[in-house]
């Protein structure tokens, strides 16, 4: 029995597992969901690539419409929250629920701050005239379109693809924050997680890292290219 | 439960991700290189960062092969899906 316990993989908490895959059900369910999410974001990214590189006119150069500095900070924040999530996972694996609660709380705060900054960015963009349909007439950006700094022909596509992709990602981050907050208050605070039972932390962690991974790709293709 | 593999150094991965993000910013706005080369390098850096997150934070590097396959299968499908769309509308 002692020998059997010593050879158990740390990724295999003693929960009901699917035969063959030998992964506990909650985790397998999350991986299947993430596989479907890959296709969801592939559709968004694919549409963006087709619209951008298939467009007849030039695309707005990076840094003119969007605030790169604040988004770069937001990217760094999401990376930090991914680290804090994996630290929470490692802490509960080591049987330290106090440390796990601390890192989980840091992750929730990091995610909430990311969403807050994104909302601030949206408000700022709309104030300057960048809207999902393109550029608002009479705005600061409309003047840049008029003097040729921004291309008139593709601003509508730019606006709709930008807000669709970053909006759906922001929705995913919001869902992640709500899920983590739910686990924090209903499971982590009452001390329901232990060295033997941490499936919820691992499962929500997988989702959170996936959201971070998607942002890494989106940040490059939307803000830097 | 005992750990069946050595735990990765998460802080080191975090440092890699931070440095790669800084490199992306420098590449995008500071380096005077051709647009196509810049695009290729930026995509390479993004895939590198995504791989670090997947392999070490999502622990794919240490998972069983069957779960790894399940995680990887949608990626080529997504690429085929995007290339199919591009072939119709761009090329």
Report pLDDT digits (tens) over A78-90.
999 999 999 999 9
Distances (CA, A) of B86 to A37, A41, A49, A160, A222: 21, 16, 8, 19, 18
For residue A18, is it within any domain?
no
Assembly ipTM: 0.90
Pairwise pLDDT comparison (B12 vs A17), residue with the higher score: B12
How many angstroms separate the CA atoms of B56 and A35, rounded? Answer: 18
Q: pLDDT digits over B40-55, tens only? A: 999 999 999 999 999 9
Rg over alpha carbons for chain B, rounded to the nearest Å, is 17
Query: How many structural domains compose chain A?
Result: 1
* Closest among A183, A206, A191, A202 to A11, alpha carbons compared: A202
Q: Mean pLDDT across chain B, nearest whole number?
A: 88
The pLDDT, as a whole number, for residue B4 is: 58
Mean pLDDT of A27-56: 92
Question: Is residue B39 in a domain?
Answer: yes
Give chain A's mean pLDDT: 90
- Cβ distance A206 to B2 less than 8 Å, yes or no, reads no
Q: Which residues face A74 on adjacent strands?
A: none
Average pLDDT over residues A33-58: 91
Facing residue for A225 by CB, picked from B5, B42, B66: B42
B2 located within any domain: no
Within a domain: residue A20? no
Residue A178's domain is classified under what CATH number? 1.20.120.80
How would residue A55 be classed by pLDDT, with cut points 50, 70 and 90? confident
**Within a domain: B3:** no
Q: Which domain holds residue B68?
A: 63-91
Q: Is a pLDDT exceeding 80 seen at residue A4?
A: no
The length of chain B is: 91
Q: With contacts defined as CB-CB under 8 Å, which chain A residues touch B37?
A: none
pLDDT of residue B7: 87
pLDDT at A14 over 90: no
Residue A23: strand pairing partners: A18
Asked if pLDDT for residue B82 goes beyond 90, the answer is no
Same domain, B12 and B44: yes
Q: Identify the pLDDT of residue A3.
A: 43
Its sign, for the CA torsion A187, A192, A195, A197, is negative
Q: For residues A180 and A169, give the distance between their C-alpha atoms in angstroms, rounded to a whole number.
A: 17
For A5-50, give the DSSP string: HHT--TT--SS-EETTTTEEHHHHHHHHHHHHHHHHHHHHHHHHHH
Residue A5, pLDDT score: 42
- Closest chain A C-alpha to B59 CA, distance in angstroms: 9
Q: What phi, psi does A163 have (nearest 5°)?
A: -70, -30
Mean pLDDT confidence for A163-173: 97
The verdict on residue A13 lying in a domain is no
The answer to whether the Cβ–Cβ distance between B43 and A75 falls below 8 Å is: no
């Amino acid at each position: 029995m002692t020998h059997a316990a010593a050879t158990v993989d740390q990724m295999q908490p003693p929960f009901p597992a699917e035969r063959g895959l030998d992964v506990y059900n909650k985790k397998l369910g999350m991986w299947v969901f993430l596989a479907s999410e890959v296709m969801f974001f592939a559709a968004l990214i694919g549409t963006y690539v087709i619209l951008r590189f298939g467009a007849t006119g030039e695309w707005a150069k990076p840094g003119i419409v969007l605030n790169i500095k604040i988004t770069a900070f937001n990217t760094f924040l999401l990376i930090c929250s991914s680290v804090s999530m994996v630290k929470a996972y490692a802490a509960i694996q080591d049987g330290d629920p106090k440390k796990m609660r601390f890192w989980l709380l840091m992750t929730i705060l990091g995610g909430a701050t990311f969403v807050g900054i994104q909302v601030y960015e949206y408000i700022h963009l709309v104030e300057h005239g960048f809207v999902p349909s393109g550029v608002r007439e009479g705005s600061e950006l409309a003047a840049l379109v008029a003097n040729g700094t921004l291309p008139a022909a593709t601003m509508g596509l730019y606006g709709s693809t930008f807000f669709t992709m970053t909006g759906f990602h922001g929705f995913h981050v919001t869902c992640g924050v709500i899920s983590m907050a739910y686990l924090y208050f209903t499971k982590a605070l009452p001390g329901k997680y232990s060295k033997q039972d941490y499936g919820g932390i691992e499962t929500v962690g997988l989702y959170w890292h996936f959201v971070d991974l998607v942002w890494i790709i989106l940040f490059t293709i939307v803000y830097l290219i | 439960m005992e750990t069946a593999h050595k735990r990765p150094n998460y802080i080191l991965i975090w440092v890699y991700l931070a440095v790669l993000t800084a490199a992306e910013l420098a590449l995008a706005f500071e380096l005077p290189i051709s647009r196509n080369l810049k695009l290729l390098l930026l995509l390479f850096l993004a895939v590198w960062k995504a791989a670090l997150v997947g392999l070490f934070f999502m622990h794919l590097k240490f998972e069983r092969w069957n779960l790894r396959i399940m995680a990887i299968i949608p990626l080529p499908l997504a690429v085929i899906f995007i290339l199919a769309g591009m072939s119709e509308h761009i090329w």
